[in-house]
Structure 1
């Protein structure tokens, strides 16, 4: 069964895309815990991060790293944190989180942000890539 992320990769579900290449995709989380909360995924559907082969695993983190400078330019924060939980969607993914404190990494607290605000934010991040 396809995950929601696989449907996003196939274009069956829209997303607020930040960047993509042949193997990876970065897009804004529609249920973010912080402004700029970005998901980075391999396009290949693999459930568990540690089931990725070494090349895909390292490529995922290098691709995520390439997004960070644009996030930092767009979203005022002290750091961009990285989180891997892997329970919410059965598709390997990395969370990039603009952080100002440890409490900003609390996944039980979602922020409200409109689709229009997400679209504008994605455009600004892409402009800083």
Structure 2
């Protein structure tokens, strides 16, 4: 049975895509800890961090770094944070978010009541920052599709 993330990647469920390549996609989470909080997800259904092949994990980390730099530029954050937990969905994903301090890194701060328009605006802001940084080739032309 496909995971929730596979269903999003396959277009069965909606997602706000900001990055796509042959190995991974990046979508904004619907429960952001900070504005611009994104998830780097491998296209392959890898259950958890320790199951990932080294080359895939290296690719995900590189994408996370690129997205983190764009988040810093878009939100003026002093840091980009990377969190890996994976308890809620059995499909490896890296949380990347603009961060101002360690207190902003707690999942207890995740907001589940963010209006769709605000999430859409954050996706546009991050997509624009990625394009401005020279990564337009990996920004899908439509935020609702993981296709390039």
What interval of TM-score do these two structures reach, taking the shorter chain for normalisation?
A: over 0.9
Structure 1: runs of 5 or more not aligned:
none
1:31 match: 31
Superposed, 1:28-107 pairs within 5 Å as 28-107=28-107
State how many pairs are aligned: 129
The answer on whether the counterparts of 2:80 and 2:99 sit within 8 Å (CA) in structure 1 is yes
Query: For the residues of structure 2 that align with 1:71 and 1:86, how far apart are their CA atoms?
Result: 22
Normalising by structure 2, we get a TM-score of 0.83
The answer on whether the counterparts of 2:71 and 2:77 sit within 8 Å (CA) in structure 1 is no
Structure 2: runs of 5 or more not aligned:
131-148
- What's the offset of the Cα at 1:54? 1.1
**Equivalent position SS for 2:77:** coil
**Equivalent position SS for 1:108:** helix
- What's the offset of the Cα at 1:48? 1.0
- What's the offset of the Cα at 1:76? 2.6
**Equivalent position SS for 2:64:** helix
Normalising by structure 1, we get a TM-score of 0.94
1:128 match: 129
Query: For the residues of structure 1 that align with 2:63 and 2:100, how far apart are their CA atoms?
Result: 23
Deviations 1:18-77 (A, max 9, x none): 111111000111011111111001000111111111111111111111212211111232
Task: State the 4+ residue runs in structure 1 displaced beyond 3 angstroms.
Answer: none
Instruction: Give the RMSD, CA atoms, in angstroms.
Output: 1.1
